[in-house]
Amino acid sequence: MIYIKNLDDNLSIIIVNYNGGQFLLDCLDSLQTASIKLDIWVVDNASSDGSIDEAQKKHPTVNYIKNSQNLGFAKANNQALKKVRSEYILLLNPDCIVSSHTLDYMLTFMKTHTDVGAASCKVEHKNGSIDWASHRGFPTPWVSFLYFALGDDSLYHQTYKDMRTEHEVDSISGAFFMTRKSVLDKVGFFDEDYFLYAEDIDLCFRIKEKGFKIIYVPDVVALHHKGITSGIKLHSKEISTAQDTSRKRALNSFYITMKIFYKKHLEKKYPFFINALVYLGINLRWFLARHKMHV
């Protein structure tokens, strides 16, 4: 793989790390096989596990930004976004493994589909199941009611669509989020009101407002362990690197960001009583989640 500092239409990859441990190293290792030119940035949010030091030793040609405190996902990504000059940008989680073929395919896809503002490949968990965060509808009151109250994810995860073919969705995940600098110049970077979670949905909402498409591309795959640094995802809770304080902060952020997104984008579209029910539902689920410590 070739690391370069000055780019035009090549690919920059931004990884935000917080105590990613071996997962960060494995992620960077997977990028070594890339046949395309990469400009890689790792933004570290004051990790205490030594992962950023190990990464610097093993991958010295990567660009590193080391923060003295945990600034959150949105602000940390924005630090690197302000520095990259590539037209094509991949936001990637440190607990993801990406093959050379996936990078090649997705970059070619973005270059040949100028109406696409952001795209995701098929993101899978280790057991082969789909990471549905990479294939979502916007959480309107009706969509949220079906999902949270009735357990029907047909609209929130848009499961009614043909998962074998390329198609448009409302939102993809920040775990694998390929976009363009020219698009971000129009819509802005991540909203830093979000500390963790929902910043990807917010960005997708703004991208679609500007008339660009968000596309799910199932032809290539990325592996996502998911929840490693937050510790609140049930399927990865046992292998998470998160401490109790990090788990609590992540859990609170999960529900706080629901309120931020709804107030910013949806509240004005609905009558008072609907809004009151939405906030009541979020608070109730937040209360119950504190006892389980997972979502």
Taking only the tens of pLDDT, the chain with its 295 residues reads: 433 444 456 899 999 999 999 999 999 999 988 888 899 999 999 999 999 999 999 999 999 999 999 999 999 999 999 999 999 999 999 999 998 899 999 999 999 999 999 999 999 998 999 999 999 999 999 999 999 889 999 999 999 999 999 999 999 999 999 999 999 999 999 999 999 899 999 999 999 999 999 999 999 999 999 765 665 555 555 555 656 777 788 888 889 999 999 999 999 999 999 999 999 999 998 988 887 755 5
Is position 186 within any domain?
Answer: yes
Is position 129 within any domain?
Answer: yes
Separation between Cα atoms, residue 21 and residue 48, nearest integer Å: 10
Query: Which amino acid appears at position 163 of this protein?
Result: M
Residue 269 DSSP one-character state:
G
Q: Report the DSSP beta bridge partners of residue 216.
A: 120, 167
Is position 15 within any domain?
Answer: yes
What is the number of other CB atoms lying within 10 angstroms of the CB of residue 268? 8
Is position 166 within any domain?
Answer: yes
Nearest CA among 172, 193, 190 for reference residue 262: 193
Q: For CA atoms 179, 202, 184, 207, give the dihedral sign.
A: positive
Is position 287 within any domain?
Answer: no
Is position 73 within any domain?
Answer: yes
**Residue 9 sits in which domain range?**
2-227
Overall number of domains in the chain:
1
Is position 36 within any domain?
Answer: yes
The CATH number of residue 109's host domain is 3.90.550.10
Give residue 247's pLDDT. Answer: 77
